[in-house]
Structure 1
C-alpha cells in the first residue's frame, strides 16, 4: 500500500497530464556495472516485474564476457559506456573527473574509443553508442571528438537546456549550453535517489518525489523525459523500497511510459 500523502503530488501531476491528453516519458540509468552481482540481479528482477527498461552504464576496462553472458537474453537492458576505468585524474582541490582537461586530449579520446569498441564487441545486441562520463563530468573540449568515435549521445546529470529564469546547475560546467550540436544528442538524468553527501544511502523519499514532480513541470516538449539515476551496488533497503513504489505507480498510470534510451536518442 502506497503512502498516499507522500506520493499524491506526483499522482496529481500525472492525472493533470492525462486530463490534458499528454503523457511523460521516464528512463532509468544505472551506473558502475562491471559484473553480475546479487544487487544487479535484484535491480533486473525488480525492473522486469514492472517492464521498466534499464540502461546500464558499464565501466569498460573492468568488465568481461561474464556480464555479456548474463545480459545476453535480457531484451530490456541496454549497455552504455561509463568512461574507461572510472579513475579520477583531477587534483585533490578539484571535483573528481576522469574525462576532465587534466590529460592530453588524444589520450582521453583513445580511451573512450577503446571503451566504445570493447563494449560494442561484448554486447552486440544491447549496446547503445551513449557515453556516460564518470561523476557526470566531461570537459566540453572533448565533445567534438565523440561522434568520430561512434558516439551518438551523451548523458550527464541535470537539465538538457538552460532556463532563462533558472540557469542549469550542471556538475560538469556548461555542457547544456553546448547543445544542440550536430551528431550528438544530450539525454540526461535528472533525479538521483542517493544521498551522496550525507548518509550515502537513500535520500528522503518525499524529496525525491518533489524532484520528479519538479522535472515534470519543466517539460514543455515531447522530446524530453524524466531520467532516474541509480547505482545498484550501493543501494540500501530504502532505495529498493522507493524504486518498487515508483515502478508500481508509473507502470500502470496512463500518463506514464518507461522508454529505452535508444528510443530517446532516435527521436
Structure 2
C-alpha cells in the first residue's frame, strides 16, 4: 500500500507559515501484555519525546506489562473499559459502556482498582471506553469511581463534561480499518482535529490534535 501524506504535509505547512502551535496527544488502545510491537511503540515515543497514553484492558492485563511500564516514565496508563466485551443491544454498534446497565458502575471501580494495584500507579487515571462509546450515566459515575478524565473519539463538546472530570479525545486514526488495516486510505487530514480556518482551542471544539493508534478496529 502506498500512503499519501500530501494533504497532511500541506496542512502542517500552513501551520508553520502561520507560526501556530499544534498540541499532539497520542493514545494507543488495547494493551494487555508486553510485546515486541509495544516496545517498538514506546521506543518511538522516546525518540520523538512525545508521551504515549496507553489504554489498558484491566481484566486481561498481566505482570509482563506492569514490569515493562515500570521502566517507562513517558508512558501514561489509562483504563480501557473492564473486559472489552460488547454489551450493546442487538442491532446497535459495539460498546461496553455505551448503554445503561446495572453492572457498569461496579465495573468502573473494579477496573480502576485493578490497574492501580497491578501497575502501582499513583497518579490520576483516565477512562477510555472500548469502541469510544460511553453513555451519559457512565460519564456521571466516573469521578466517584476515582477517574480524573475520559477520552473518546472526535472533537469534544466540553473540556469538562462535569465537575471534576476532564475530557481529552482523539481525532485522527491513521489505521485504515475498512481496507484491512495498515496505513490510511488516501490521506490523513489534520483539520479533523483542529481546522486552520478558525482559531485553535475550545472555540471550535478542538482539544488539540490527538492520534489514536488503536490496534483493533472500532465498528
Smaller-chain TM-score bracket: 0.7 to 0.9
Change (3 A) 1:147 1:5: closer
Task: Give secondary structure in 1 for the equivalent of 2:139.
Answer: helix
- The 1:146–1:214 alpha-carbon spacing in structure 2 relative to 1, beyond 3 Å, is closer
Which of these residues, 121, 141, 144, is aligned with residue 145 of structure 1? 141
In structure 1, the residue matched to 2:184 is: 203
Whether 1:124 aligns to 2:120 is yes
Q: Is the 8 A contact 1:119 1:127 kept in 2?
A: no
1:74 partnered with 2:52: no
TM-score scaled by length of structure 1: 0.71
Number of the residue aligned with 1:16: 17
Once the two structures are superposed, what CA deviation does each residue of 1:37-96 show, in whole Å capped at 9, x if it has no partner? Answer: 111111111221111210000000011222111110111001000000000012341101
CA displacement, residues 178-205 of structure 1 (integer Å, 9 cap, x when unaligned): 954211111000001122233233212x
What residue ranges of structure 2 are gaps of 5+ in the alignment? none
Q: Quick check: 2:112–2:146 contact (8 Å CA) kept in 1?
A: yes
Looking at structure 1, the residues matched to 8 and 131 of structure 2 have their Cα atoms a distance apart, in angstroms, of: 29
- Cα RMSD after superposing both structures: 2.4
SS at 1:29 equivalent: strand
Query: Compared with structure 1, are the counterparts of its residues 139 and 219 closer, same or farther at alpha carbon in structure 2 (3 Å cutoff)?
Result: farther
- Equivalent residue in structure 2 for 1:181, among 159, 162, 180: 162
What displacement does 1:126 show?
6.9
Call closer, same or farther: CA 1:14–1:90 in 2, change over 3 Å. same
Question: How far apart are the structure 1 equivalents of 2:45 and 2:174?
Answer: 15
Tell me the matched-pair count: 209
Correspondence for 1:213 = 191
Q: What TM-score do you get using the length of structure 2 for normalisation?
A: 0.85
Distance 2:207 2:30 in 1: 24
Please state which structure has a larger fraction of its residues in helix.
1
Unaligned runs of 5+ in 1: 162-175, 235-267
The answer (yes or no) to whether the contact 2:201–2:208 under 8 Å persists in 1 is no
Q: Is the contact made by 2:171 and 2:192 (CA closer than 8 Å) also made in structure 1? A: no
Q: Is the 8 A contact 1:77 1:126 kept in 2?
A: no
